[in-house]
Structure 1
Amino acid sequence: MVVANKYVVDLNKPLVFQVGHLGEAYEEWVHQPIISKDGPRFFHSSFLEVLTRTAWWVIPIVWVPVASWFIYNSFRLGLPIHQLPLFVILGIFVWTLAEYLLHRFLFHIQTKTYWANTLHYLLHGCHHKHPMDSLRLVFPPTAATLIALPIWSVVKLVCPPSIAPAVFGGILLGYVMYDCTHYYLHHGQPKSDVPKNLKKYHLNHHYRVQNLGFGITSPLWDKVFGTVPPPSKADAKRR
């Protein structure tokens, strides 16, 4: 059990409808990670519980065909085939910015009311509290759809009809890369320097400076917006 704000969170009971009672203490509580591969129970209902668990391989199986369908629609609507890769790559690049903005301003929004705490815990807080829970690391397709729909609406608004599907298809491919990369940074054992550095960068966000280092697939936008974490004391000594 964890005592916070005079409320006791019982880690042996379903958590979702408990965490809201933490009030202003929720922010501190949720950033005290429990390092265990065994995830907590969220709901009493077995049906709801199943909906919160998603294996990483579900992401490419669901979303790569959807992205391919959107990209094909651009071709069907008259976009020359030699231009398709350009707008798909543009979509992937747009995703990297969306990834950063969502992570910084939505996933790390500070909450203190009962329902705001509860919703935040479901959205992202659970991942910070139990960062090694492998079945709650990637987004369930239903939750991802709720985020994808408004993004598609914006893309349709700013892009010509023949280009919008290719850009959105690229955004979906960028999302697949993001979620699979995110899973790998937690559970993979990289051997080369680039993934090693990305893993270190992301775990630093979890365990040392949670309010900085929002990039997952790249620290690019952290550098642009000034949210790169300062080096640790060990890194500073090595320099």
Structure 2
Amino acid sequence: MVVKFDVDLNEPLVFQVGHLGEAYDEWVHQPIVSKEGPRFFANDNLEFLTRTKWWVIPLVWLPVVCWLVYVAMQRGLTPAQAAAAVVSGIVLWSLMEYSLHRFLFHIKTQSYWANTMHYLLHGCHHKHPMDALRLVFPPAATAILCIPFWSLIRLFSTPYIAPALFGGVLLGYVMYDTTHYYLHHGQPSTGVPKKLKKYHLNHHFRSQTKGFGITSSLWDHVFGTYPQPKVVR
């Protein structure tokens, strides 16, 4: 006999959600729209590490972007070449943004540890989409994720181009995280920002298997995952 597990929202969530098993995917995609975020861990130090204010992202990473571009120019790139590499990095990030969101953040899980890791990575955002302190990635987690991406860029580009290219990727990431925060907590009334907000909230509340871009819907159009407009009858 299989006993259904119920998550107690008044208790730390991270080590509970794994017990949901196959029911996790359905549970995590039933959002609780509240600005009050849940507690993740009983340990105060671990809990602190899960919370990040949006302005920390540009504060930490924009100086790194500038330093990387400076290193590339010190190695011989002209300003025009460095700018081209940065723009290429932003485009590369946009594809990574789409791919990570579609194939990693929305992977189906059912084992205890897979559910737990998915909840920490992205599931918590779908369960509590208005939790302002968990909308952006903590810098420590981003630094760890940077290691394999930096290694790949070094492998497939030259020592002159790699720093500026990676700087562009990081700049794309900063644009992604700050845009993502704005789409949830900003109130755009016209133009592109309003369309992006509608497009992203559609992903959360109507069609969670479509609309994987954040800063742009480009790759959704390319790969056929752009959500169809709601038909009014």
Shorter-chain TM-score: what band? Answer: over 0.9
Q: Which deviations, in whole Å up to 9, do the C-alpha atoms of 1:131-187 show, x marking residues without a partner?
A: 000000000011111221111111101111100000000000000000000000000
Q: For the residues of structure 2 that align with 1:172 and 1:63, how far apart are their CA atoms?
A: 7
Instruction: Determine if the alignment matches structure 1 residue 40 to structure 2 residue 35.
Output: no
Aligned residue type for 2:76: G
Runs of 4+ in 1 over 3 A off after TM superposition: none
2:117 alignment partner, one of 116, 119, 136: 119
Name the aligned partner's letter for residue 105 of structure 1.
F
Matches within 5 A, 1:1-239: 6-234=4-232
Structure 2: distance between partners of 1:165 and 1:92:
13
Distance 1:5 1:155 in 2: 48
Structure 2 CA distance for aligned equivalents of residues 5 and 162 of structure 1: 59
Aligned partners of 1:152 and 1:168 also within 8 Å: yes
Q: Match for 2:42: what amino acid?
A: H
Q: Give the TM-score normalised by the residue count of structure 2.
A: 0.97
The offset of 1:233, in angstroms, is 2.5
Partner SS, residue 8 of structure 1: coil
The separation in 2 between residues aligned to 1:39 and 1:81, in whole angstroms, is: 44
Q: Secondary structure at the match of 1:12?
A: coil
- Alignment gaps of 5+ in structure 1: none
Residue 231 of structure 1: SS of its match in structure 2? coil
1:80 Cα deviation after fit? 1.6
Q: How many residues align?
A: 232
Q: CA RMSD in A?
A: 1.2
Partner SS for 1:7: coil
What secondary structure is seen at the aligned counterpart in 2 of 1:70?
helix
**What amino acid sits opposite 1:115 in the alignment?**
W
CA–CA distance in structure 2, aligned partners of residues 131 and 105 of structure 1: 19
Code of the aligned partner of 1:175:
Y
| Mean CA deviation greater in 189-198 or 33-42 | 189-198
Give me the TM-score of the superposition, normalised by structure 1: 0.95
Equivalent residue of 2:6, what SS?
strand
Structure 1 residues 175-215: Cα deviation after superposition (integer angstroms, max 9, x where no partner): 00000000000000012210000000000000011111000
How far the C-alpha of 1:81 sits from its partner, in A, is 2.2
CA distance in 2, matches of 1:14, 1:85: 46
Identity of aligned residues (%): 66
How far, CA to CA, are the matches of 1:34 and 1:192 in structure 2?
Answer: 27
> Secondary structure in 2 aligned to 1:9?
coil
CA contact (8 A) 1:75 1:81 kept: yes
